[in-house]
Structures are given as C-alpha cells and as structure tokens.
C-alpha cells in the first residue's frame, strides 16, 4: 500500500474529469436536453427580430419596429390551443402584474404573437385578450399575416411549430425578451414566473 497516494490522486482526478465531462456536455449544468441546448445557443447568438408586419386585436397594422426603444416580452401562441397556451398566457399576465406600473408601456411592452393567422383574426384575438385582462395597449395580441414573414420569425427565434393534423399545433413555449434594438436578449422558462420577473426588473433597473 506504499503507492496508495496514486490511488487517492486518481480518485480526485476521476471526480474532476467526470465533472468536467458533465459540465461541458450540459453547457455548464444548464442544458440537459437538446431542446434546452438549442435555446441556450439561440440566446448566445442574439438574433435580431426580423421586420414583420403585425395586425393586433384593435385591427391596427404596424411593423415590429413600432416598439423600438422599449424592451418587449413576447410569447408565441394560437388561440385554439387548449393545453399549453392558456397556461403560458396566464403566467405572462402574472409577470405583467408583478412589474411596477412605472415601467409598463414606457420601458417594456408585452406582446403575444399568434402563429395561426388564418383563424386568429383581430376579433378572435380581441376575445382572447379579454380572457387574460390584457389592456390591448401595453399588452397586445397580434398576428403576422404574411406567411413568409411569419416563417422567418419562427425560424430566427427557434420556435418549432408542427401541425398535429387535427387543427392543433405541437410547439415549444417560452417567454422571449427582446431588447430596445430588437435583439433577442433571453429565452426564459415560462413556468418560472418569479425568476422571469426578477430578470426583467434587473434589466429595466440597470437601464435606469
């Protein structure tokens, strides 16, 4: 047992090597699924919000650059969705309520974008926004009418929408935070309301 020190050293080396393997393999314990890894990569790349034309629940038509100079917190939805979207929007409402009034509208804009423009006309969106008490101003619900523009947006922001064949869609959900210049700042877990709120407040406060 004279050479036992080698064994002890080997124990530590194995632990360190193993941890490094797991660390690198999960982007620093952040991404344990390919999906999470994709989101992480997306955030690293900070894609710019493409120029798309929105039509909202009040039938106003404007480009996304309308919100330039404000942070935008957005979600991707379709109103016929019965499972995840209502939850997503309820949580968005929760974040909305937790952000102090002084920031709302001036510094941050809430936006829910429908990727189902054929069914989600302004009237439908209006009805949908009433479910979540959105004021249709500081929190707007809008569709992207042009399919080319919509696909470009979904591609850039990594939203995967697969029609399930019976009128619904299988899609991934998150809160997307876009900065004042239209660059994607972060993709946040929509189930973590408090963490998302904290992060947004942090961003807003450092901006002053």
Question: Which residues of the chain form contacts with other proteins (CB under 8 A)?
Answer: 1, 3-4, 6-7, 9-11, 13-15, 17-19, 21-22, 25-26, 29, 31-38, 189, 191-192, 194
108 touches 99 (CB < 8 A) = yes
68 touches 182 (CB < 8 A) = yes
* Smallest separation, CB 59 to other proteins (Å): 36
* Smallest separation, CB 9 to other proteins (Å): 8
* Smallest separation, CB 147 to other proteins (Å): 24
* Smallest separation, CB 93 to other proteins (Å): 17
* Smallest separation, CB 31 to other proteins (Å): 6
Residue 92: closest CA among 185, 204, 180, 197: 197
Please say which residue, 60 or 192, places its beta carbon nearer to other proteins. Answer: 192
Pairing of strands 175-178, 184-188: antiparallel
136 burial (CB, 10 Å; 0-12 / 13-18 / 19+) is: middle
CB contact burial 18-46 (16+ within 10 A = b; e otherwise): eeeeeeeeeeeeebeeeeeeebbebbeee
Please say which residue, 13 or 61, places its beta carbon nearer to other proteins. Answer: 13
- Report the first-to-last Cα separation within the chain, whole angstroms: 64
The strand ranges marked E within the chain are 53-56, 61-63, 71-77, 108-114, 139-144, 161-163, 169-171, 175-178, 184-188
Please say which residue, 31 or 145, places its beta carbon nearer to other proteins. Answer: 31
Please say which residue, 17 or 123, places its beta carbon nearer to other proteins. Answer: 17
Query: What residues form the annotated binding site for Cu cation?
Result: 81, 85, 171
Please say which residue, 38 or 70, places its beta carbon nearer to other proteins. Answer: 38
Q: Quick one: DSSP state of residue 49?
A: P
Query: What residues form the annotated binding site?
Result: 81, 85, 171
Query: Which residue in this structure is represented by tokens 């993709």?
Result: 187
């Amino acid at each position: 047992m004279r050479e036992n020190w080698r064994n002890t050293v080997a124990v530590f080396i194995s632990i360190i090597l193993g941890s490094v393997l797991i660390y690198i393999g999960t982007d620093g314990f952040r991404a344990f699924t390919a999906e999470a890894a994709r989101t992480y990569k997306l955030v690293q790349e900070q894609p710019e919000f493409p120029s798309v034309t929105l039509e909202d629940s009040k039938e106003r038509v404007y480009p996304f650059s309308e919100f330039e100079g404000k942070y935008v917190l957005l979600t991707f939805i379709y109103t016929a969705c019965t499972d995840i979207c209502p939850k997503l929007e309820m949580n968005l409402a929760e974040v909305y309520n937790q952000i102090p009034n002084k920031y709302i509208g001036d510094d941050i804009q809430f936006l829910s974008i429908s990727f189902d423009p054929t069914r989600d006309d302004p009237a439908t969106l209006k009805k949908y926004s009433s479910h979540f008490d959105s004021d249709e101003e500081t929190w707007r619900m809008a569709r992207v009418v042009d399919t080319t523009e919509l696909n470009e947006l979904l591609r850039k922001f990594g939203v995967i929408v697969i029609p399930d064949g019976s009128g619904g869609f299988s899609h991934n959900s998150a809160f997307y935070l876009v900065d004042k210049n239209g660059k994607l700042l972060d993709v946040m877990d929509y189930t973590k309301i408090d963490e998302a709120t904290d992060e947004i407040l942090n961003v807003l406060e450092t901006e002053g």
